[in-house]
């Protein structure tokens, strides 16, 4: 049994490396693709986050991928919102897990950002998938999955219904800070790659920990303040890719563009897509 477990681990890492073979090939040929530009909660520096408006504007600004957060209502509807409460970004109050979709769908999700966005709504996951799947890559974050029993299965069902297992590599990625949740999603629906998010810690993240994550994840995505070339090399060395989050200034954007990241998540996509001075159009 011990031999079989070790063989299984070796095969998983080996196959992961094969999936990402373009990394060493790019190095040998001298060719280097630019990072994937990721609209963090849409174009959330300029428009109310996690709304259809913010996602449409992100695509218009050149996003290759949309990042958004998923929570689950009391009656089991998957919705796109960052916080476990509706308080910060809507006209309502309360935990999402205690509210029905009928109660949530009427909330104003735009005025908190700027009065001119009054009437924006919290979208359902169904609405976002129907609008963008196959047109732009999607990075789906499960927020606080421990609050919602079986949310991994519910998400997998939504993606399977839409043929996510038939899409190209990296067209849909599911990520979370919750490693157990990502292991469970990977078990349920291995055709869709998963990523693990990491924040700053005094000791950083050890090579052993990175190798452990590579047993089930295809992406290891650090906060920008944790990123350095050594970490990127270690992640790539374990056969994973890496997305940095979240860029909110031009200096950081410029630095990350030169570091070999596979993707960069930002509230301000024009920091990545438009050279030179940037005209501000902030909603607040």
At which residue do the structure tokens 């477990």 appear?
5
For residue 82, indicate whether it is catalytic. Answer: yes
Per-position DSSP letters for 156-183, written without gaps between them: HHHHHHTTGGGSPTTSEEEEES-HHHHH
User: What Å distances lie between residue 78 and 154, 155, 261, CA to CA?
Assistant: 8, 8, 31
Output the CA angle 134-135-138, nearest 5 degrees.
75
Choosing from 12, 20, 40, 236, which is the catalytic residue? Answer: 40
Question: What is the C-alpha to C-alpha distance for residues 17 and 98, in angstroms, rounded to an integer?
Answer: 43
- Say which of 82, 154, 186, 236 is annotated catalytic: 82
Mark whether 40 is an active-site residue: yes
Distance of CA 19 to the CA centre of its chain: 20
Roughly how many angstroms between the first and final C-alpha of the chain, as a whole number?
A: 60
Instruction: Say whether the peptide bond before residue 246 is cis (omega within 30 degrees of 0).
Output: yes
Catalytic residues: 40, 82
């Amino acid at each position: 049994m011990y031999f079989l477990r070790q063989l299984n681990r070796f095969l998983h890492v080996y196959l992961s490396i094969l999936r990402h073979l373009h990394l060493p090939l790019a190095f040998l040929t001298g060719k280097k693709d630019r990072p994937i530009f990721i609209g963090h909660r849409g174009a959330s520096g300029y428009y109310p986050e996690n709304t259809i408006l913010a996602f449409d504007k992100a695509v218009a600004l050149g996003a290759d991928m949309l990042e958004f957060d998923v929570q689950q209502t009391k009656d089991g509807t998957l919705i796109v919102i960052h916080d476990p409460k509706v308080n910060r970004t809507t006209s309502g109050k309360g935990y999402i897990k205690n509210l029905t979709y009928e109660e949530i769908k009427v909330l104003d999700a735009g005025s908190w950002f700027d009065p001119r966005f009054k009437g924006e709504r919290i979208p359902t996951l169904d609405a976002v998938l129907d609008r963008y799947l196959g047109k732009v890559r999607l990075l789906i974050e499960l927020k606080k999955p421990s609050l919602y029993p079986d949310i991994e299965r519910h998400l997998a069902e939504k993606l399977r219904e839409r043929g996510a297992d038939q899409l190209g590599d990296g067209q849909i990625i599911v990520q979370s800070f919750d490693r157990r949740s990502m292991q469970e999603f990977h078990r349920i629906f291995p055709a869709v790659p998963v990523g693990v998010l990491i924040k700053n810690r005094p000791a950083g993240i050890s090579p052993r920990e990175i190798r452990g994550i590579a047993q089930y994840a295809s992406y290891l995505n650090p906060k920008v303040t944790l990123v350095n070339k050594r970490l990127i090399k270690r992640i790539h060395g374990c056969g994973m890719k890496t997305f940095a989050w979240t860029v909110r200034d031009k200096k950081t954007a410029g630095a990350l563009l030169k570091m070999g990241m596979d993707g960069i998540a930002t509230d301000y996509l024009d920091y990545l897509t438009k050279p030179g001075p940037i005209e501000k159009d902030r909603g607040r």
